[in-house]
Amino acid sequence: MAQTAAKVQTVIQPPVFTNPWSEGWRSFRSNKMAMAGLFMILLFIGAAIAAPYITTFDYKEQDLMGRLQAPGAEHWFGTDDLGRDIFTRIMYGARISLWVGFSSVMGSILIGTLLGIAAGYYGRWVDMLISRGFDILLAFPGILLAIAIVAALGPSLQNALLAIAVVNVPVFGRLVRAKVLSLKNEEYVTAARALGMRNGRIIMHHILPNCLGPVIVQGTLSIATAIIEAAALGFLGLGAQPPEPEWGKMLSDSRQFIATAPWTVIFPGLSIMLTVLGFNLMGDGLRDVLDPKMKN
Amino acid sequence: MAEPLMTIQNLQTHFVTDKGAVPAVDGIDLHIRKGEIVGIVGESGCGKSVTSLSIMGLLPKPAGTIAGGHIYFKGEDLAVTRERRMQALRGNEISMIFQEPMTSLNPLMTIGEQISESLRIHRRMSRKEAWRESIAMLDKVGICRAESIVREYPHQLSGGMRQRVMIAIALCCEPELLIADEPTTALDVTIQAQILDLMKKLNEETGTAILMITHDLGVVAETCHRVVVMYAGKVVEEGSVKDIFYKPRHPYTRGLIRSIPKMDSDGGRLYSIPGSVPLPGTITEGCRFAPRCEHAYERCRTEIPELQGEEPGHRSRCWL
């Protein structure tokens, strides 16, 4: 009898409350898809950082005797039409794609958030001016606008990055503006004003931190689209210039061998797909954590 | 009698809409002395909250404006004070607590940070001093385990606790006037009583005058010294709590008192004043309560009565 009684007794642990961030991490960790996405991203980040230690080849070293070799023990992903090791080029290419993804989105977030807060918080003509600016940018299809900007500035990786950043500014601007409009009516913002706080302080302490959730979610998803856009610009010859191992460029350079040496296109294509998928999965996972109302 | 801390004279607050300016507060007079608790009572939409926002200078812009009148606070007219000066007054000399304790705290800041913020702005305290003072304030508003609560986030506290925190924030700079806009409406009855007791206690200890805005006459009876009854943007009666409850003069006040449920009632239908509050700006002639008043006669519909009374301090706006 005593044994069964002991069995029935369960240990009820008091919930351990910490800060919102570590609670969010706990809930993120339990989301398998999001963790898979995070894993993919970490894999590519790892490859980008450790590239020189993993491979002994140079990404621009040509070997015209060993062109278009199939994947094998020496060249894991085979070689391209100039005999360069594709595995090496993929890893160095990860540096480019991740750099473009992160930095262009960082730029968009910085400028978009600034403009969005100004428009949402101050309203009236400030809002009018900024919002119409966003409308104009959004009137162009994103990639077309990016092409136009790069065409005007001259094809290079820097300009492609800049173009992608500009295209994404209104995405964040509108997101933040909408969030600020709803936060402005939150009672704690009124309470902050009732405590004699100035606009700058209210924005920095009470508005901005509460905007960050959706911005982080959108930022993660935007890295994915930025990587695709960078690859597209590279494919069109408007992004990174040879011999830089940019994935989109690699695709366009080898598309004539798609029938005879499919590995030359499969691996760059797969890399683009996996990083984009990784960021999308992680973005969805973050949305579940940071924006519970959007669930389902 | 002590010198008035704040005197409101003929305050008019208008809201600009598509159909022109709507007077939400239409010429009210009010005064509050040092250390006094004054209640403003009335139905929803009678201008109570707009009055408090006018005092704080927190009217929603650009729609809300003070169209006329004065708000003298220690000799300074808040109706024309500039924003910078108002920022120095708010939270420091005049504080406000709100109806919804669940949403009045920033969800991403710890309790300690939120109390400290005000102290650091107005008292220029160092981070450490402000933190220590925050713990002391939480202690003062009757939160036990203050040491650990300062590190917690709002969602970890109950509604009653949060309202105590709000009171701690409002009172940490020892303001001379606290405006409490329906501070207990969102709380359950037992917590409500505790919060009211706390406010009364703090009023006695610190001498902070309180302007208690409520639609609950029970709250008024329990806490206030004097009462101002508002109807459709105007003061209809003012007097001591005793005057209002035992000798109400205005039919509206009587109606309000009659509609309080009583312990000894026989379980019949509860009394309610027929009709509803008129939309601001729709009644321009005569007494605003006339359409709902059972005693109204010809004069009530054409002429508006003045606020008057025979006894000092007890005045009402009625021809009868």
CATH, residue A98: 1.10.3720.10
pLDDT at residue number A296: 44
Residue B307 structure tokens: 């606020």
Is the CB of B95 less than 8 angstroms away from the CB of A194?
yes
Position B117 in a domain:
no
pLDDT category of residue A130 using cuts at 50, 70 and 90: very high
Tell me how far apart the 2 most distant CA atoms of chain A are, in Å.
85
Q: Which of B59, B78, B108 to mutate against chain A (most A CBs within 10 Å)?
A: B108
- Identify the CATH number of the domain in which residue B203 sits: 3.40.50.300
pLDDT at residue number A17: 54
Position B30 in a domain:
yes
Position B141 in a domain:
no
pLDDT in tens, A19-49: 667 777 888 888 899 999 999 999 999 999 9
For the stretch B131-163, what's the b/e string if a residue is b when 16 or more beta carbons lie within 10 angstroms of its beta carbon? bbbbbebbebbbbeebeebbebbbeebeebbbb
pLDDT at residue number A142: 87
pLDDT at residue number A3: 52
Alpha-carbon gap: B110 to the closest alpha carbon of chain A (Å): 9
Position A13 in a domain:
no
List phi, psi (to 5°) of A173: -60, -45
Position A14 in a domain:
no
Position B194 in a domain:
yes
Count of structural domains, chain B: 1
List phi, psi (to 5°) of A113: -65, -45
Chain B residues with CB under 8 Å of A186 CB are: 103
ipTM: 0.81
Q: What is the pTM of this model?
A: 0.81
Position A65 in a domain:
no
Is the pLDDT confidence value at A14 over 70? no
pLDDT at residue number A92: 92
Percentage of residues in chain A having pLDDT higher than 70: 91
| Cα–Cα nearest to A239, from A231, A265, A270 | A231
Position B202 in a domain:
yes
Is the CB of B108 less than 8 angstroms away from the CB of A196?
no
In sequence order, what are the residues at sequence separation of 6 or more whose Cβ sits closer than 8 angstroms to the Cβ of residue A224?
A: A101, A275, A276, A277, A279, A280, A283
Count of structural domains, chain A: 1
Is the CB of A195 less than 8 angstroms away from the CB of B58?
no
Residue B89 structure tokens: 């007054």
Position B188 in a domain:
yes
| Residues of chain B predicted below pLDDT 50 | 1
Is the pLDDT confidence value at A1 over 50? no
Position A1 in a domain:
no
Alpha-carbon gap: A196 to the closest alpha carbon of chain B (Å): 4
Position A63 in a domain:
no
pLDDT at residue number B260: 80
Containing structural domain, residue A180: 30-53+77-294
B156 near A CB under 8 A? yes
Is the CB of A210 less than 8 angstroms away from the CB of B169?
no
Containing structural domain, residue B10: 4-93+175-261+270-316
Position A184 in a domain:
yes
